Every structure is written in structure tokens, then in C-alpha cells.
Amino acid sequence: MTKEFTPQDYVKELGEDDLLAVRDLVKYFPIRRSVIDVIARRRQKFVRAVDHISFDIKKGVIFSLVGESGCGKTTTGMTLVRLYDPTSGHIFFKVDEETRKKLDDISGGRIKFYDGYVDLAQVPSKWMKPLRTKLQIIFQDPYSSLNPAYRIRDILMEPLIIHGIGDSPEERYEIILKALEAVKLVPAEDIANRFPHMLSGGQRQRVNIAKALLLNPSFVVADEPIAMIDVSLRAEVLLSILDLKEKFGVSVLFITHDLTIAYNISDYIGVMYLGKLVELGSAEQIIKNPLHPYTQALVAAIPIPDPKRRHIIKDIRIKGEITSAVNVPPGCRFHPRCVAFDEHPEVQARCKAEEPRLIEVEKGHYVACHLY
């Protein structure tokens, strides 16, 4: 992707079923400077949390983002739903006629549309409201995300009132019951009248899914939604997330560090390393045929529930420790930890000097590594 591309050029390449197209997205966080830094006029440093990433999400699919702690998964999710403002780049998002009209009304026609897409990166926060219902996020912690002082019905009523959905309290209550039933929290009337502490972690997380669903979104970010849920109950939450896609046609960005779960739930997987997407493909391609040396190490590390492998000491082909997103190594940012780098002297010069781009190696399977 070259810099001279205009939004129209990007959008022209998109297919009929693309819901969201991320292009060259960047999110840097400034690091707080000490007084001494300021006096000495040291340059402002940044955490390069998300550093020029591009990918598409089709309608009604689950796209998992995987990678180690701090690689930028949450920042990506938060930026896509505009809880963070991007530093630069584009987020093309397809909107329906109704939302488009609302956007025209609120902005006095000043928001640009490109073939039915709006660039979320360019919509000022004050005009985001009509888009907020379309973009939802579910967080990791099902315990702190629901106000303990309110009944479930009141918790779910709030967003409906804020966005003016439903004409009467009765109608809103009907919508709430439907949403609870959609995530199989039944009998819905009983659940609606409970307080959060009267529900299990899995049930609370399904309330959060119901809350996201209420506003009829087209895109939901689920940020490690099962990390704090008991093993025996995880699937009940995952099945509700699958329903978002299958029954309601919603697209989901599913953030996880568990590759087995990513494999089981998603259509596509993107692998992130230090703010970059290093590999992208179908769940099958990424897990069964990982190409990037980092993805290969991740896949080799997956625990396998088979006691016959007990005596094996696993060969995890990676060196050193996680590098910080402040001092990103030049060239391929993975090179200080890359075992393939050591084994392929012929690519070392390029690895150290040139950032590899994502290239398509087989249909739909992209990798950013000079070996390919």
C-alpha cells in the first residue's frame, strides 16, 4: 500500500461483502516526559502500539487477533470502535441508509462517504453518536463491567434510552427480554430482575453480549471475553459470540491469546507482533500451516491435551524476551528473536534494514517476512 492512495482508491478495491477495511492504521501513545527531558529538549518518545496495519473484515465473520501481551491487540480494538482516536490511517466502515441519514443530519452533510463507506478515522468525536450503536465492544472483566447496584433490566435499559430506541418503557422491556433470550439467558424475565452478583461469570458475560446486541450493531469487538471465565463455562460464552455472527450477521473482532480458541471460533486469524500484523489468513491456514517464524513459535507452544506427549521437551523456536514497543528494532522488528534469521544468512541484511510487507503467499494467506 503506497502513501499516495486516496480513500476512493482504497474503497474501489473492496468487495461487496466487506464491512470494515483498515488501511495503514497507526496508534501511538506519547510517553510522559520528565522535567529533565523537557529541559534538555529531548525528543518526545512514543509507544508504537499499532504501527501501520491493514486488513479487511467481511460481513458476518469472526476475525481473531492473536499475539503476545502488549503487541497491540486491545489498542487495535479500541481504535476500531473509536474509543481511541487513531494517530493516522483509515478505517472504512460500511453504513446502512438509516445511519447515513443520521450522520448527514448530525454533521449537516459534512461527513464524506465513499461508496457507502465512512472513514471512521475522520469522523470527529462529536458526530460519532449515530455510529456508536453500530460499533460495540465487550471487555474481559465480566465482574466490573456491570454496575452491582442495578438490576439487569435497568443496566440494559440505559443504552436504549441514551440512543432513543423503543417508543415506550414496555417496548424497551420487550427488546431487553429478546436480547436476553438471544444469548440463552432464560427465563429472561427472571434474569432481568436479578442483580449482577446473582449470576455466574459466564452469565454476566452473556449479559454483556446481550447489551452489545441490543443496539443492533454490525461490528463487535470482543476483547478476551472468556479470560476470566471458568473453563467449564467458557463454551457457553463462545457459543453466544458465534450466534452474533450466525444469527445476527454481526462481524466480530475476537481478541485472544489462546490460539486453540481462536482456531475453534474464527473464520480468519491475524497474528500481531509489536504493533504489526505479521501474518493473516483463514483459521485453518494460520494454525495448520503457519509461515511466519513468530507464528510458527506460537503454534509450537500450544498445549495439546494428550498425555502421551508428556516426556517431550518442546522445541520453541524463539530467542530472548519480548521487546518493548518504544524502542522498536529497525528492519524486521522480529529479527532479534528470530531463529530463521540465524539460519538464513542470505536474508540477514534485508531483515536488519528493511521492514517486510504483508504479501500474499497462497490464496488469502498473507505473511510479512523476507523468507517469502
Q: Which is nearer to ligand ATP, 70 or 159 (CB)?
A: 70
Site string for ligand ATP, 307-336 (x = CB under 6 A): ------------------x-----------
Are 102 and 130 in contact, with CB atoms under 8 Å apart? yes
Query: Looking at 31, 161, 300, 353, which residue binds another protein (CB under 8 A)?
Result: 300
Select from 64-72, 126-134, 160-168, 199-207 the region that touches ligand ATP (CB under 6 A): 64-72
Query: What residues from 235 to 254 belong to the interface with another protein (CB under 8 A)?
Result: 235-236, 238-239, 242
Query: Looking at 10, 55, 341, 366, which residue binds ligand SF4 (CB under 6 A)?
Result: 341
74 binds Mg ion (CB under 5 A): yes
Run of H or E including 25: strand 18-30
366 binds ligand SF4 (CB under 6 A): no
CA distance 135 to 99: 12
Cell numbers for 108: 449537516
The stretches of 81-226 forming alpha helices (DSSP H) are: 97-107, 129-132, 152-162, 169-182, 188-192, 201-214
- Half-sphere exposure (CA, 13 Å, Cβ side) for 49? 20
Query: What residues from 230 to 259 belong to the interface with ligand ATP (CB under 6 A)?
Result: 257
191 binds, among ligand SF4, another protein, Mg ion, none (CB under 5 to 8 A by kind): none
Under rule CB under 8 A, how many of the chain's residues touch another protein?
42
CA distance 266 to 251: 11
Are 227 and 261 in contact, with CB atoms under 8 Å apart? no
Do you find a cis peptide bond into 187, omega within 30 degrees of 0? yes
Closest distance between another protein and the C-beta of residue 233, in Å?
A: 6
Run of H or E including 54: strand 46-58
Are 151 and 192 in contact, with CB atoms under 8 Å apart? yes
Q: Which is nearer to ligand ATP, 59 or 257 (CB)?
A: 257
Query: What residues from 28 to 47 belong to the interface with ligand ATP (CB under 6 A)?
Result: 29, 47
Closest distance between another protein and the C-beta of residue 317, in Å?
A: 10
Q: Which residue reads 481511541 in cell numbers?
A: 84
Closest distance between ligand ATP and the C-beta of residue 325, in Å?
A: 4
- Strand-pair category, 135-138 with 219-223: parallel
Closest distance between ligand ATP and the C-beta of residue 238, in Å?
A: 18
Are 213 and 244 in contact, with CB atoms under 8 Å apart? yes
Residue from 56, 19, 217, 189 nearest 132 by CA? 217
Run of H or E including 75: helix 73-80
Are 220 and 253 in contact, with CB atoms under 8 Å apart? yes
325 binds, among Mg ion, ligand SF4, ligand ATP, none (CB under 5 to 8 A by kind): ligand ATP
Closest distance between another protein and the C-beta of residue 265, in Å?
A: 8
- Strand-pair category, 113-114 with 117-119: antiparallel
306 binds, among another protein, ligand SF4, ligand ATP, none (CB under 5 to 8 A by kind): another protein
DSSP lists the bridge partners of residue 360 as 366
Select from 6-14, 16-24, 68-76, 196-204 the region that touches ligand ATP (CB under 6 A): 68-76
- Half-sphere exposure (CA, 13 Å, Cβ side) for 256? 24
Closest distance between ligand SF4 and the C-beta of residue 276, in Å?
A: 10
318 binds another protein (CB under 8 A): yes
CA distance 288 to 308: 21
Site string for ligand SF4, 272-311 (x = CB under 6 A): ---------------------x------------------
Write out the residues near ligand SF4 by the rule CB under 6 A: 293, 332, 334-335, 338, 340-341, 347, 351, 356, 369-371
Q: Which residues bind another protein (CB under 8 A)?
A: 68-69, 200, 202, 230-236, 238-239, 242, 257-261, 263-265, 287, 297-298, 300-310, 313-314, 316, 318, 321-322
Chain residues in the site for ligand ATP (CB under 6 A): 29, 47, 49, 69-75, 257, 325
